[in-house]
Structure 1
Amino acid sequence: MGLNDFLNYIEHEKRMSSYTVVAYKSDLNQFIDFAHGLVDDFEWKTVDGFLIREWVVFLMGKGMAPRTVHRKISALKSLYRFYLVNGYVVKDPTSLVVLPKIRKKLPFFVRIKEMDNLFDHDNFRDDFSGVRDKAILHVLYGTGMRLSELVGLKRRNIDFAQKKMKVLGKGNKERIVPFNDELSHVMSRYLLFCDGLFDEKNDVFFLTDKGEQVYHKFVYRVVKRYLARVSTISKKSPHVLRHSYATHMLNSGADLRAIQELLGHASLASTEVYTHTTFDKLRKVYKQAHSRG
């Protein structure tokens, strides 16, 4: 049983994204290259915790960020879980490996006033490109979906009558996300432009000027260009709009577990990071309400 068996498993059975499969393959091949420098006959079943710890030390010595090291070891952990289940190994050598601590970073987010400035002023041209770009920004901020989820969004998964859409998230997990009247209007207007330009209806929702499915870098450039007009934050990406959606929802009193479900987080711990961004609001409430604030 070799590495390709594992890669086929995570791609076709676990249905991980192509980006994750490529990343795991690269990380595991890097480990193989490292191991060949220390052992004569490398086999996955003979790897021990000592060898993996040596790799962690090597990676940290090269100045690699702890988060990146965690990702590489995560690839090894997944591989050995697969080998254990299939009886190829009898123990997991990654189980006792101590990893470097990751410093939690507070998520970047755009302020509500800045988003209002983006949508309420004349920032989008009244042609196909402008209407599409506006719809992209509205969908990302209005639903909190991930970049990959937006790229893969299908017409058939949007229910305009009930104002909800089906989103295909990580691990092919589906969730239902509601949307408001404004977003419904923006998306409907975009579809009118699409149907007027392209003869054949494409089930893919977001299209380029050539009528082809948008791709990750395309959407990233669109978001970065428009956010630069209203915000000075250093990071301007589709994920920042996802952070903004969650932060603004939480600041407006939304339940944390509801936000978890809307974002498609498997763990509440992933959603709890947004509670840190609301501290400024709590500070203001304290100063206003406390007698000696």
Structure 2
Amino acid sequence: MVLTSFISYLSLEKNYSQHTVSAYEKDIKTFAHFALQEYNVENIDAVDYTLIRSWIVSLVNASISNRSINRKVASLKAYYKFLLKIGQIEANPLIKHRALKTSKKVEVPFSEEEMENVLQQIEFKNDFEGVRDKLIIELLYTTGIRRAELINLKLVHVDIETNVLKVLGKRNKERLLPILGSTKKLFKEYFKYRKNIQEISDKDYVFLLKTGNKIYETFVYRIINHYFSQVSSKVKKSPHILRHTFATHLLNKGADLNSVKELLGHSSLASTQVYTHNSIAELKKVHLSSHPRSRE
């Protein structure tokens, strides 16, 4: 197996995040373990599709969702594509594989009222943690940045004089985002509190715990879940729903799809179009209430 070379390729040439690279590595090792245990195959580099199909069947029998199975198979497909690229194999055994059918996942964004209730009605503590939490919610909603982008945001990326935020997205793709007046005000307030932290381990990063370490994924999720549970009965309350809300509210107010695509940092319009179903629902409502024929 040339797994080590593949992992280096993902990290150095493809610029994938460590989280993504780890997921690829885990999926491939899981398949390798299956091949060894079930078929006594020690090297998965030259297997045929029959063995891979057996693995897929075993995953289905283990009640793993089709969506998760497709992700695992995609990791394996990328591995064989790499082997083909370096001349290690002559054909990708997954070249004709078709992904398992999955149901479309519709995520419900927060309403404008829910956003207003969180940012205006909830009393955040007037201290470092309270101001930080409010700024995190405000920033996710007003810029649409991803959770990982928020966590890795550095002080040098925030220019509150020109109201611009520099974000390093997937594959280190850089984009500039505007900072709204309300967000700028919170940034200034937060930085005042941040200066009073005695020992800062991760001094380059914007968002910190009161211990001086930078925030982490589960922590951000807990903040969103905690505050939105007070105003919303929606089942899913996560940082990604705020990104979804950002895009939906912009589209509902007439923003064009290309502009939203750039703000979100998507590489193609297809990725942005998943956010349009709610704006279409809004358009239907306007159409129904405004068109003369709707009363017929």
Q: Under TM normalisation by the shorter chain, which class is it?
A: over 0.9
The equivalent residue for 1:132 is 132
How many angstroms does 1:28 deviate by? 0.8
Tell me the CA shift for residue 199 of structure 1: 6.9
Give the letter aligned to residue 112 of structure 2.
I
Q: Distance in 1 between matches of 2:244 and 2:35?
A: 39
1:176 Cα offset (Å): 1.1
Work out whether residues 59 and 69 of structure 1, in 8 Å CA contact, stay in contact via their aligned partners in 2.
yes
* CA–CA separation in structure 1 for the residues paired with 2:68 and 2:40: 27
Note the C-alpha offset of 1:290.
2.1
Q: Secondary structure at the match of 1:214?
A: coil
- Give the Cα–Cα distance (whole angstroms) in 2 for the partners of residues 27 and 188 of structure 1: 44
Residue matched to 2:121: 121
Aligned runs of 1:58-137 on 2, under 5 Å? 58-137=58-137
5+ residue gaps, structure 1, are none
Cα distance in 1, alignment partners of residues 98 and 53 from structure 2: 8
Deviation at 1:145, TM superposition (A): 0.6
Indicate the residue corresponding to 1:276 in structure 2. 277
The question of whether the paired residues in 2 share the 8 Å contact of 1:56 and 1:99 is answered with no
Tell me the distance in 2 between the aligned counterparts of 1:148 and 1:168. 9
> Per-residue CA shift, 1:52-81, capped at 9, x if unaligned?
222222212222111101110111111112
Partner of 1:256: 257
Q: Which amino acid aligns with 1:123?
A: E
Aligned counterpart, 2:208: 207
1:250-286 alpha-carbon deviations (Å, 9 max, x no partner): 1011111111111111221111011111233122212
CA distance in 2, matches of 1:32, 1:41: 8
Whole-Å separation in 2 of the counterparts to 1:61 and 1:40: 21
Equivalent residues of 1:53, 1:97 under 8 A apart: no
Instruction: Give the Å deviation of 1:204.
Output: 0.5
**Most deviating of 29-38 and 71-80:** 29-38
Q: Distance in 1 between matches of 2:37 and 2:217?
A: 37
Residue pair 1:154, 1:205 contacting (<8 A) in 2 also: yes
State TM-score, norm by structure 1. 0.94
C-alpha contact (below 8 Å) 1:49/1:96 kept by paired residues: no
Alpha-carbon distance change, 286 to 82 in structure 1, aligned in 2, over 3 angstroms: same
Provide Cα deviations, 1:93-124, integer angstroms capped at 9, x if missing partner: 11111221122111221101110111112421
How far the C-alpha of 1:188 sits from its partner, in A, is: 1.3
**Residues of 2 paired with 1:108 and 1:45: CA distance?**
42
Aligned length: 293
How much is the aligned-residue C-alpha RMSD, in angstroms? 1.7
Partner of 1:197, secondary structure, is: coil
Give the Å deviation of 1:233.
0.6
Matched to 1:272, the amino acid is: Q
2:33 alignment partner, SS class: helix
Equivalent residue letter for 1:218: F
Q: Which residue of 2 aligns with 1:234?
A: 235
Residues 220-254 of structure 1 deviation map (CA, whole Å, 9 limit, x = unaligned): 11111011111111011111111110110110111
Q: Is the 8 A contact 1:139 1:183 kept in 2?
A: yes
What letter is aligned with 1:128? F
Match for residue 165 of structure 1? Answer: 165
* Superposition TM-score, scaled by structure 2 size: 0.94
| CA displacement at 1:156 relative to structure 2 | 0.3
Deviating more after overlay: 16-25 vs 144-153: 16-25
Structure number with the bigger relative contact order (C-alpha 8 A, sep ≥ 6) is 1
How big is the shift at 1:11? 2.5
Q: Distance in 1 between matches of 2:163 and 2:25?
A: 40
Tell me if structure 2 keeps the 8 A contact 1:151–1:213.
yes
